[in-house]
Structure 1
Amino acid sequence: MTAVLDWIAVCCMLVGAALSFAAGVGLVRFPDLLSRLHTSTKPQILGLLLILVGLGLRLAPEPRVGILLLIALFQILTVPVAGHIAGRVTYRTGRARGDLIAIDELRERLNEDAPDSSRS
């Protein structure tokens, strides 16, 4: 049974490493910042989770598996929020390429929230 768990752990770690490598390549190769934000959040988190699952399978009888769960929870909660904030800052500073945005719901929302200078 341990041989089967070892092979599953190795497969999880290899797939996770491949996803993390793909995210790194995407950060270098994608043309604009919004595409880079996508590749830095989604495949990176999935890759890290697969690596942590592989480590958890290898360390299963030890009590250190709880630390891996804490690492996974922290990453799941913080990385998407950081990506969202970086995307908002990119958009608001005008560094996002408008020709690549298909539906721009944020512009409408920002226009609604902007103070009207004619009211004062």
Structure 2
Amino acid sequence: MMSLIGSIFLLIGAIFILLGAVGLLRMPDVYNRIQVGTKAVTLGTIGVVVGIIFIHPQWWSKLLVILGFVLLTSPVSSSAISRAFYRSGTKVWHKKRLAKTKPEQKGRAKE
């Protein structure tokens, strides 16, 4: 039963990491890519480590140290990298919107 629960957590972690990889390909600028990568690595690592804890309970203390290290360093490192990109002048992507046309006024003759 414990290995089944562990396998489910491993699968959830792998899915988060896979979706993060897809998100890296789809995001338009470096800031969005860093954000997607950080969330995917953090959530995927949580799933994988919790899954391994269920499969190998004798390793729980070492795995919690690894999990704590990843949870602390991943957001800090992505923030530092984002700040370096910002200071170097990397532009933020802005979505271009189509200009909306004004609806014609009813009851007024066109000249």
Question: TM-score scaled to structure 2, two decimals?
Answer: 0.78
Say if 1:34 and 1:96, in contact at 8 Å, map to a contact too. no
Give the TM-score taking structure 1 as reference length: 0.73
Larger radius of gyration: 2
- The ranges of structure 1 where at least 4 consecutive aligned residues each deviate by more than 6 angstroms after the TM superposition are none
> How many residues were matched structurally?
95
Unaligned runs of 5+ in 1: 101-120
CA contact under 8 A between 1:20 and 1:44: conserved in structure 2?
A: yes
Query: Is residue 42 from structure 1 mapped to residue 56 from structure 2 by the alignment?
Result: no
Summarize the alignment of residues 23-42 of structure 1 with structure 2, pairs less than 5 Å apart: 23-42=20-39
Amino acid in the other structure paired with 2:61: G
Q: CA deviation at 1:27?
A: 1.8
Q: CA RMSD in A?
A: 1.4
In structure 2, what is the equivalent of residue 88 of structure 1? 83
Match of 2:10 among 5, 8, 13: 13
Residue 31 of structure 1, CA deviation: 1.3
Task: Kindly provide the amino acid, as one letter, of the partner of residue 13 in structure 1.
Answer: L
- Which one of the candidate residues 67, 70, 78 is aligned to 2:65? 70
Q: Unmatched 5+ residue regions in structure 2?
A: 96-111
Percentage of matched positions with identical amino acids: 31
